[in-house]
Amino acid sequence: MSHYRAELTGVFGDPVDDNPTGIVEEAAFAAMNLNYRYLTIKVLPEDLETAMSAVRAMNFRGINLTMPHKIRVLPMLDELSEAAGIIGAVNTVINQNGKLIGENTDGKGFTASLLKHGIRIEGANILVLGAGGAARAISVECALAGAGSLSIANRTEGKAEELAALIREKTKVNSAAFGWNPGLKIPENTDILINATSIGLMPDADSKPALDYSTVREDMTVADVVFNPSDTLFLKTAREHGAGTISGIGMLVQQAALNFTLWTGERAPVEVMYDTLKKEFEQ
């Protein structure tokens, strides 16, 4: 006899109405014939503690957290993964019989996307544009994956220096910071260039990070965290200079796939998830 109770997962955020993760996870649950649901839930900052109590009370298998909850949630959890502890932010919670474990799959989704494209992180010299939440998660995961060096460029140099210092202290990877000016030249030894800002995200699709694109080289990999549009002006311009590019859709899908596995214990149907997301953005 089938049982009627679905396992619950979802996302807490504010704003959260345009978060596409639900359609990707629901497609994956259906493809694997799992009785799971993913709910997109608006939770105001002052209600986060109540909402996290509800995760326990309603036996959710887990929950994603988006703005503005990723840092605020930390004291409400029982345990953190190594990466989440270093990054100081959580986007995925796993409920293990009432014990809430915080993980950060933002950077892991990014590194998984690079590896899927056959790009080696180990020993690579990486330049990250930006020093916000995405930059922090990506930089930490690249360092944990054995990057040769990490450079952080940010308009507020102090913020970049803070991130570089964190990486040096926690991962022992050589990390430097510098101010980001519009004529930024990409250092010659750069293997991977990453836009970890929201520049170019809809409805701002006709803008790109300000830098000297003539210093982008053919043997570089250029990656974007922006997933809508999937082929950003940043990536198009990099390709015009001969570089290989990787879109933000890969990161989003790999991150959703990691969530799926953490909650269900099953291998994620990555292709189904990728096709679902691509279709969503092509509408």
Active site members: 70
3-state SS class at 9: strand
Whether the upstream peptide bond of residue 75 has omega within 30° of 0, thus cis, is no
H/E element, 42 = strand 36-42
**CA nearest to 143, candidates 161, 165, 159, 121:** 121
H/E element, 64 = strand 62-65
**CA nearest to 91, candidates 70, 77, 72, 109:** 70
Q: What is the DSSP letter of 44?
A: -
**How many angstroms separate the CA atoms of 98 and 44, rounded?**
23
- Angle ∠(264,283,272) on CA atoms, nearest 5: 25
